[in-house]
Amino acid sequence: MLKALVAPFGAAVAVGLAAAATDKPGDRVVASCAIQKPGGIYYSVGLRVVGDQVSVVSGSGDATLLAVLTPTSRQLAGDCKGNRPLRRDLSGLAGPWPRRVPKLISMVYCSWEQLGSRVVLDFKRIRTKRGRLIGNSLVIAFGRRPLLRVTATRTGGGVWLDPAVCLRTVVKPPP
């Protein structure tokens, strides 16, 4: 079950942040979610992009849904808890690749053994200099190490990933 992200949740974790001039209360929400090893020795997390919707899942095959991101909304799984904000140093990520690929499903999977069993989801709204909301951004990290970044805007967006542990694939949807 997913719950919508609301300002009180974001306000509790955003204490002490130096907000940009265009940021508004609740623009940044950071949560930590526990993930399970799916029967193997590796932890994994992935993105599944269909149209404008980006789903964040844990595991493979019988995956657990952690969050959903669209250009106008963001939702988080009920078992995730508030977390300290991340340093958003994304210099080690490769990309961007287009978020949407026409008539195909875009997927990114990251697998690791040593990084830990908690995934940090760092949501941030994207605003123009005048403060108009144009989309949402999500950084997925393990501990303090960012592995994935995805942006969803009305006109597109992009995916950045850590090529050491992540793989991007594109598949045809079932008929």
Residue 9 is predicted with a pLDDT of 29
Q: How far apart are CA 112 and CA 124, in angstroms?
A: 25
Residue 22 is predicted with a pLDDT of 58
What percent of the chain is predicted at pLDDT more than 70? 75
Question: Is the pLDDT score of 17 beyond 70?
Answer: no
Closest CA to 5 of 84, 87, 72, 88: 72
Question: Is the pLDDT score of 16 beyond 60?
Answer: no
Asked if 150 contacts 88 with a C-beta cutoff of 8 angstroms, the reply is no
Question: Is the pLDDT score of 129 beyond 80?
Answer: yes
Closest CA to 58 of 126, 127, 117: 117
Closest CA to 173 of 98, 97, 101: 101
Question: Is the pLDDT score of 15 beyond 60?
Answer: no
Q: How far apart are CA 163 and CA 92, in angstroms?
A: 9
Residues 59-80 have pLDDT tens digits of 766 677 888 988 888 888 767 8
Asked if 156 contacts 100 with a C-beta cutoff of 8 angstroms, the reply is yes
For the chain, the domains span 2-6+41-171
The residue-averaged pLDDT of 85-94 equals 78
Residue 171 is predicted with a pLDDT of 80
Q: How far apart are CA 68 and CA 70, in angstroms?
A: 7
Backbone angles phi, psi at 10, to 5 degrees: -70, -35
Residue 18 is predicted with a pLDDT of 33
Residue 19 is predicted with a pLDDT of 38
Q: Which of 33-42, 95-104, 165-174 has the highest mean pLDDT?
A: 165-174
